[in-house]
A and B are shown apart, each in its own frame.
Chain A
Amino acid sequence: MPIDLEQFKTAYEKWVEESMSDFQAGKMVEILKKYPSIIPGDIPWMPYTGKPSEQTFALITSAGLYLKDSQPAFDTLSIHGDPSIREIPKDVQQEEIGIVHGHYDHSLVEQDINIIFPIHRLMELENDGIIGKTADTHYSCSYVNNVAPLATEAVPKMISGIKAEEVDVVLLVPV
């Protein structure tokens, strides 16, 4: 685990208590300045080996994408955000995507999901032989402040799925 969750939980509870009034007033910049980011100094590192043309790639975005007809939207009302993750299939079409994220303007992504989730470009690169394979499953989360359940539940489940599909490289695209 790249962060000390107990240390985070203590700092986070204090942050929620101190930030609730600003959150309710919509002062997002103010509360994020005080957010207890706990990032250790060391950087995890898996040396890249092999060739893209022989490997499988997966995407993760934090743009708040979900499948409108089959998945629940993300919670945007809570100060905690939403610590869940949606699976997005590789053959997804623009019109199937819903977007729920309270802290960025979605209007450009509504025109073209590839500016934050370049799934169609990845498929084209597979067809052109530049990458080996686009994974069958890709992922989106949304705005989340309480990262403890994200780190202990949603991300481990997602990583199991990534490993089951033998993904070699993950590209992460935040908003």
Chain B
Amino acid sequence: MGLIQRMIEEEGISTISMGNEPERMARIKPPRALQVKFGRGSMFGEPGNVSRQRRILLDAFDALQTITEPGEIRKLPYQWKRPDRPDMTDYQ
């Protein structure tokens, strides 16, 4: 996704991406990004939480309008862990 984001931005279209692993995001260096605390496979948190999903999109629009330096990653505070797999991490 890092490559795709770069290719789109290079074509003159503003982009913003999401991520949940700071080390991976630092390596990929997206033009703009939101960092969340949710586990793999649920960047917008728990299923069915409409207000949170909406809130994160509004945060993305805010980040679009206020990030002025290439590569800024904005951290969001929201937290949720899967009740069935609270310690789930990458590739488990």
- Interface residues of chain A, those whose CB is within 8 Å of chain B, are 1-3, 28-29, 32, 37, 39, 41, 43-48, 52, 60, 62-63, 103-106, 108-109, 111-112, 114-116, 118, 121-122, 124-125, 130-131, 141, 147, 150-151, 155-156, 158-159, 162-163, 167-175
**Between A and B, how many residue pairs show CB distances below 8 Å?**
164
Q: Tell whether, in the assembled complex, residue A37 and residue B5 are in contact, meaning their CB atoms are under 8 Å apart.
A: no
Q: Closest residue of chain A to B92, judged by CB?
A: A105
Q: In the bound complex, what is the Cα–Cα distance between A172 and B13 (angstroms)?
A: 12
Q: In the bound complex, what is the Cα–Cα distance between A170 and B50 (angstroms)?
A: 21
Contacting A at CB under 8 A, from B1-48, are 1-19, 27-32, 40-48
Chain B, interface residues (CB within 8 Å), range: 35 or more
Partner of A118, one of B53, B67, B70, B82: B53
Q: Tell whether, in the assembled complex, residue A162 and residue B8 are in contact, meaning their CB atoms are under 8 Å apart.
A: yes
Known: A116-B41, A162-B8. 16 other contacts (CB 8 A): A2-B6, A3-B3, A32-B91, A39-B27, A41-B29, A44-B9, A45-B70, A47-B68, A52-B65, A115-B42, A118-B44, A163-B13, A169-B13, A169-B14, A170-B15, A174-B18
